[in-house]
Structure 1
Amino acid sequence: SYTFYVIARDAAGNSSEASVPVTFKTLAGQVDTVPPTRPGTPVASAITSSGATLTWAASTDAVGVSGYDVYREAGATDVKVGSPTSPSFALTGLTADTSYTFYVIARDAAGNSSEASVPVTFKTLAGQVGGGCTATYAVSNSWPGGFQGEVTVKNTGTSATTGWTVKWSFPNGQTITQLWSGTHTQTGAAVTVKNVSWNGVLAPGASTSFGFGASWTGTNGVPSTVTCTAP
């Protein structure tokens, strides 16, 4: 509580009678009790025998999202594997040819935590001998009813590839209308893309990419798993 009053003065230094005082009380300090929104379902890409990259749609918050916690389902007690500040996390140290399930929780500066995201489950590749590749899926542009996507293919093996094949399944009925720098087939939700003559040979560590245009209605979710195989 505070009480204030006012006195007027003139140039000769005369002061008035004090005003009637006013008393008021400042508000209590505001406490943020609203948690961030639920993160989007993680997408696993660039899957190898020992790692993968998770990406998800960012959460929103009345004040601001301060970070995310990434968890691996592990029976009775799930394991926190990282706390990135952006909606992406690189997983390392995984076991080859093994299924994993991960989910994400957002948090704000006040310590509020969101509802856990829908989990994503994927299987690491079998140990690669010589060849091997990863594929990273991204939406580069989107508009009502349509979008443009790009997939980057990288040779993660120790010898040059002679070709590659990328596969994924669309979650919401999207349909590819055109694709460049690759040849594709789509059966229902399942998409298969193979290299063309000039981009199938990749030296170890080298990358190439292909792009596509597609249509969507209602929701434009990203595939939960994008795989790449190479001879």
Structure 2
Amino acid sequence: MTATGATLTWAASTDQGGSGLAGYNVHREQGATDPQLGQSTTTSITLTGLTANTQYQVYVRARDVAGNLSGNSQPVTFTTTTGGGDTSPPTAPAGLAASGTTSTGTTLSWTASTDDSGVTGYDILRAPGASGGTFTQAGTSATTSFGDTGLTPNTTYRYQVRARDAAGNVSPVSNTAEVTTQPGTSTGNCAAVPTVQTQWSTGYVIQPLTVTNTGTSAITGWTVTFTLPSGHTLTGSWNGTTTVSGQTVTIRNAAHNGSLAPGAATTSVGFQVSRPNGNTALPSGYICA
């Protein structure tokens, strides 16, 4: 507990509807309208920007992927400490960037902040779309990296990070990093999800192109098709038999990775593409059959 912040923890909820938990909303109990103080994808949150020497009564609601909300948790009451002492915030995190983006997640990293009383952690903020929307807290990290999961395929998100110190001071936000998740579509009993391993101004590597048996019985072969953006050229592939027709690429299983039990996946398939300098487009329309 500090003058401007507090850390809350709770037991995980379960989702009986089967769509899966997406996270938790934290509200301050204030009568007819209970303002939301933050969101978390884990069973804890560090609230920031609170008022010193003030009593708060808060509760938590779980939400699932379909947007359904649970009932309110048992409320908890706490009082922030009296202000004073260290009032200098940490420096803003720098160099926020994303890597390893898949259809449902991405990994963020940044340069550490500095502070005279010591940085205690970072708040990860996320907003929907390439513009507009509101940044809300997607999670926290004690290090300079964070893996965000449960994202929607083929969707754009924006991220910012801010640092917290031992006195509860909060830094300015970092630069904004924009991420677009991979498509990751499926047909029949298999799904194909690409991961960008690395990219540069004139090319990129997709590794792995994860092929998963989503059915209830074993499969003995699979075929993945996708479309290269205009001007992109396949320069290599591995662990599959590849054919190219125009901008359409077809990859069929190799002898050693075609048989997959229900729920099993192969992560050995990959390919490399060259592209015009400055063109940041990526393949789309992945279909697995």
Provide TM-score, normalisation by structure 1.
0.55
Q: Deviations over 1:33-63 (max 9, x none)?
A: 4343343488342xxxxxx2x2255333453
Aligned-partner Cα distance in 2 for 1:214–1:125:
20
SS at match of 2:109: coil
Aligned-partner Cα distance in 1 for 2:260–2:174:
42
SS at match of 2:258: coil
Aligned-partner Cα distance in 1 for 2:135–2:88:
33
Residue equivalent to 1:113? 173
List gaps (5 residues or longer) in structure 2.
1-85, 165-169
Aligned-partner Cα distance in 2 for 1:132–1:168:
18
1:102 aligns with 2:153: no
The higher radius of gyration belongs to: 1
1:43 aligns with 2:94: no
| Alignment CA distance shift 1:57-1:193 (3 Å) | farther
How far off is 1:204 after superposition? 1.1
Aligned-partner Cα distance in 1 for 2:247–2:163:
36
8 Å Cα contact 1:43/1:223 also seen in 2: no
Aligned-partner Cα distance in 1 for 2:205–2:183:
27
Residue equivalent to 1:150? 207
Q: Deviations over 1:85-127 (max 9, x none)?
A: 33432216x6xxx97442222222343212432252666758x
| Alignment CA distance shift 1:189-1:55 (3 Å) | farther
1:59 aligns with 2:110: yes
Tell me which of the two structures has the higher relative contact order, counting C-alpha pairs closer than 8 angstroms and 6 or more residues apart. Answer: 1
8 Å Cα contact 1:42/1:119 also seen in 2: no
Identity %: 25
8 Å Cα contact 1:57/1:87 also seen in 2: yes
> Which has more strand, going by share of residues?
2
List gaps (5 residues or longer) in structure 1.
1-27, 46-51
1:181 aligns with 2:232: no
Aligned-partner Cα distance in 2 for 1:33–1:184:
49
| Alignment CA distance shift 1:225-1:68 (3 Å) | farther
Q: Deviations over 1:158-189 (max 9, x none)?
A: 33334131536479x66443212112345787
How far off is 1:81 after superposition? 7.2
RMSD: 4.7
Residue equivalent to 1:72? 128
SS at match of 1:43: coil
Provide TM-score, normalisation by structure 2.
0.46
How far off is 1:30 after superposition? 6.4
Aligned-partner Cα distance in 1 for 2:278–2:176:
20
Residue equivalent to 1:91? 150
SS at match of 1:159: coil
Count of equivalent residues: 188
| Alignment CA distance shift 1:125-1:153 (3 Å) | closer
